[in-house]
Chains A and B, each alone.
Chain A
Amino acid sequence: MSSDAIPTKKPVKSVGLHVGDAVPGCKKTDPILIADGVKRTFGGLTAVDVAHVEVPRGAITALIGPNGAGKTTFFNLLTGFDKPDHGTWSFDGKSLAHVPAFKVARLGLIRTFQLTKALGLLTVMDNMKLGATGQRGENLFRAMLPFLWRKQDDEIEAKALELLGRFKLDAKKDDYAASLSGGQRKLLEMARALMSDPTLVMLDEPMAGVNPALTQSLLDHILDLKTQGMSVLFVEHDMHMVRHIADWVIVMAEGKVVAEGDPYTVMQDQAVIDAYLGQHHDQDLGATDTGHVEALKELIDDEQ
């Protein structure tokens, strides 16, 4: 099994993802998601203003940036949960502008949420079964005739059991999702997303609020997605994790993409350091900000 307590494998990094220099908005050899001129303002505040960005296929891409950089808003825009002021974006060659969220999901672009959305008063199994798409019994009239959907429902249940086993949730299958711990809910949400066999999985802070014991298991699950041929785009604040599993990193700050590259080089990029620490982080501005000092130490740690 992939989720032993100690790291079991060294992630195999995908290389050769981009064409030309690794600059913000650079071309990828095989992009799965392309966004162009996507802009979203809330009143006078520009939350997202992405000129051009491409997400590589078959790789794990991290979207990082300080709080308020517009990462989650960008996620919402890409998945149809929010509408931009203008812009175009396409997934697998199909334009997604003005496509409602549920159709985006049906195309194979499944997302999870920063605040976990486990469906509390449904059992874990029902949560999983809800994730399957193209169910005959989800039509009101066919639902009245169980013999039309029973067989398909059994197949979905078998698939759900297999996934729950992989995520070590099978013992919980008849419990309400509300009875799961925070980390288990994250696992459930990820497992549920896989029920529809997505091609691109977008994870919004998969590690937020997860205890260290579960972190390794979650990391392995994310790496598994790549092994199984899915592309992953995730938002994360934990730089250790980003460096550990990401093949490519896109950095956002103040709504714009400010840097791109592989995780080792991008963290040395001046624009990234500026975005995280402020442009004057190395000048003494008079007050001692311990938070910044610690963040800087962590960054130096990371670089070693």
Chain B
Amino acid sequence: MIDWGAIFSNAAVEVLSPTTAAYALAALGLAVHFGYTGLLNFGQAGFMALGAYGYAISVLTFGFPVWAAVLVAVGASVVFALILGIPTLRLRADYLAIVTIAAAEILRLLFTTNTFRDVTGSANGLSEYKAGFRALNPFSFSGKAGFGPWMFSANDWWNIVVAWTIVALACVLVWVLMRSPWGRVLKGIREDEDAVRSLGKNVYSYKMQSLILGGVFGTFAGMIFILPRAVVPSNYATSLTFFTWAILLLGGAATVLGPVLGSIVFWVALSFFSGFVARAVEAGWLPISEVQSGQLRFILVGVAIMLMVVFRPQGMLGNKKEMSFVK
């Protein structure tokens, strides 16, 4: 028989997992880009890779402390955003989409190539960069602590607390900004940038600020992403970007909490489906192999997202009224 308890508790673990927080933060960056400014960034994986590698390389190669490594990662993504934005933000939105997806792939291949093996670890990636971060951990109990399905070690709790604190701060920041005159300009640009230009706003500069802000969120997401795992270049393929987009559309593009809720729902659903399918295959309910069952969960999630977009296009937290005027 299927162990439903295990399936549900594994799914519940995803609610708090740092990975969920990382995707939520990356999707929040896309919300700033797409939901509020109308920029099509298909290279969020690139910003996340810069966060991961910027942090890990600073620690491993240069022996930087945690705060300096974070600054290096953020600096790298600001430079990346400038390189992407300077040639493309004067053009139509589609050009940014093409350039970002290509640039993110270039980054991933640069991190994978053997030429820089000493620094990037090539296809094996990087690990052993966590000591500095763990030294800051105020939790010192041994074994696991928590309640219900949420039993974690001291290091795991530290990861969770830091990850979700950053997500919460980012949400507050976006909430404050989008209610400010600055956010009003961004939303105006999303609707019609020529109109905003005719009102005396430097549209190019605002688009650049938006690209940098959302990119920095992606970079922090990349650093959170590597808290519970190693840095592996294949994690930063385009599928990472598209999962982030799926989360954004699931939650609601121009919302603050949509990406967070979207990420939680996405990961809980993914874990639930994979647990269910794996055990259903074991129990002989499904006529497929275990390898096939690993892929089936993505199909199920894909179908779920399609249904969502068809029947609730504004996302879970989006405003229904907005959708009635979409051109």
A79 to B198, CA, bound (A): 8
| A144 contact from B176, B196, B198, Cβ within 8 A | B176
Write out the residue numbers on chain A whose beta carbons fall within 8 Å of the beta carbon of B203: 102
Write out the residue numbers on chain B whose beta carbons fall within 8 Å of the beta carbon of A126: 184, 187-188
A171: CB under 8 A from chain B?
Answer: no
The answer to whether A117 and B187 touch across the interface, beta carbons within 8 angstroms, is no
The answer to whether B181 and A138 touch across the interface, beta carbons within 8 angstroms, is yes
A126 to B182, CA, bound (A): 12
The answer to whether A122 and B191 touch across the interface, beta carbons within 8 angstroms, is yes
A275: CB under 8 A from chain B?
Answer: no
Which of A102, A149, A153 has most B Cβ within 10 Å?
A102
Within A246-269, the residues touching B (CB, 8 Å) are: none
Write out the residue numbers on chain B whose beta carbons fall within 8 Å of the beta carbon of A195: 199
The answer to whether B198 and A101 touch across the interface, beta carbons within 8 angstroms, is yes
Interface readout for B183-203 with A: 1 if CB under 8 Å, 0 if not? 111011011101111111111
- For B, the interface residue count at a CB cutoff of 8 angstroms equals 31
| B194 contact from A113, A131, A139, Cβ within 8 A | A113
| A119 contact from B191, B202, B209, Cβ within 8 A | B191
A194 to B160, CA, bound (A): 51
A19 to B327, CA, bound (A): 50
A57: CB under 8 A from chain B?
Answer: no
Within A91-148, the residues touching B (CB, 8 Å) are: 100-103, 105-106, 110-113, 117-122, 126-127, 129-131, 133, 135-140, 143-144, 146
Write out the residue numbers on chain B whose beta carbons fall within 8 Å of the beta carbon of A120: 191, 325, 327
The answer to whether A130 and B325 touch across the interface, beta carbons within 8 angstroms, is no
B322: CB under 8 A from chain A?
Answer: yes
A176: CB under 8 A from chain B?
Answer: yes
The answer to whether B187 and A121 touch across the interface, beta carbons within 8 angstroms, is yes
Q: Give, as a whole number of angstroms, the nearest-CB distance from A151 to chain B.
A: 12
The answer to whether A139 and B182 touch across the interface, beta carbons within 8 angstroms, is yes
A102-B203, A119-B192, A121-B325 known; A149-B187 Cβ under 8 A: no
A178 to B190, CA, bound (A): 14
Write out the residue numbers on chain A whose beta carbons fall within 8 Å of the beta carbon of B198: 79, 81, 101, 105, 110-113, 117, 193
B180: CB under 8 A from chain A?
Answer: yes
| B199 contact from A136, A179, A196, Cβ within 8 A | A196
A117 to B213, CA, bound (A): 27
Q: Give, as a whole number of angstroms, the nearest-CB distance from B85 to chain A.
A: 15
Write out the residue numbers on chain A whose beta carbons fall within 8 Å of the beta carbon of B286: none
B2: CB under 8 A from chain A?
Answer: no
> Nearest CB to that of A112 among chain B residues?
B198
A121-B322, A122-B184, A129-B181 known; A102-B191 Cβ under 8 A: no
A110 to B203, CA, bound (A): 16
The answer to whether B194 and A117 touch across the interface, beta carbons within 8 angstroms, is yes
| B187 contact from A103, A119, A133, Cβ within 8 A | A119
| A135 contact from B181, B188, B202, B327, Cβ within 8 A | B181
Write out the residue numbers on chain A whose beta carbons fall within 8 Å of the beta carbon of B176: 143-144, 146
Q: Give, as a whole number of angstroms, the nearest-CB distance from A100 to chain B.
A: 8
The answer to whether B184 and A140 touch across the interface, beta carbons within 8 angstroms, is no
The answer to whether A138 and B195 touch across the interface, beta carbons within 8 angstroms, is no
A192: CB under 8 A from chain B?
Answer: yes
| A102 contact from B187, B188, B202, B327, Cβ within 8 A | B202
> Nearest CB to that of A127 among chain B residues?
B188
The answer to whether B321 and A176 touch across the interface, beta carbons within 8 angstroms, is yes
Q: Give, as a whole number of angstroms, the nearest-CB distance from B161 to chain A.
A: 24
The answer to whether A143 and B325 touch across the interface, beta carbons within 8 angstroms, is no
Write out the residue numbers on chain A whose beta carbons fall within 8 Å of the beta carbon of B196: 119, 130
Interface readout for B116-140 with A: 1 if CB under 8 Å, 0 if not? 0000000000000000000000000
B177: CB under 8 A from chain A?
Answer: yes
A127 to B177, CA, bound (A): 17
The answer to whether B195 and A119 touch across the interface, beta carbons within 8 angstroms, is yes
| A122 contact from B179, B180, B188, B200, Cβ within 8 A | B188
B173: CB under 8 A from chain A?
Answer: yes
| B182 contact from A121, A137, A178, A193, Cβ within 8 A | A137
Interface readout for A187-206 with B: 1 if CB under 8 Å, 0 if not? 00000110110000000000
Q: Give, as a whole number of angstroms, the nearest-CB distance from B290 to chain A.
A: 47
Write out the residue numbers on chain A whose beta carbons fall within 8 Å of the beta carbon of B209: 140
Q: Give, as a whole number of angstroms, the nearest-CB distance from A169 to chain B.
A: 17
A131 to B188, CA, bound (A): 10
The answer to whether A138 and B185 touch across the interface, beta carbons within 8 angstroms, is yes
| A105 contact from B185, B187, B199, Cβ within 8 A | B199
Interface readout for B204-224 with A: 1 if CB under 8 Å, 0 if not? 000001000100000000000
Binding site for A on B (CB under 8 A): 173, 176-177, 179-185, 187-188, 190-192, 194-203, 209, 213, 321-322, 325, 327
Those 10 A-B pairs whose CB atoms lie nearest each other, nearest first: A137-B181, A143-B182, A117-B195, A105-B200, A178-B325, A143-B180, A119-B191, A106-B200, A138-B181, A135-B181
Starting from the known contacts A110-B200, A121-B322, 6 additional A-B residue pairs (CB-CB under 8 Å) come to: A117-B192, A117-B198, A121-B191, A138-B182, A144-B173, A144-B180
16 A–B contacts from the bound complex (CB under 8 Å): A81-B198, A102-B203, A105-B199, A110-B198, A110-B199, A113-B195, A119-B195, A121-B190, A121-B325, A129-B181, A129-B184, A133-B200, A137-B180, A143-B182, A143-B183, A149-B180
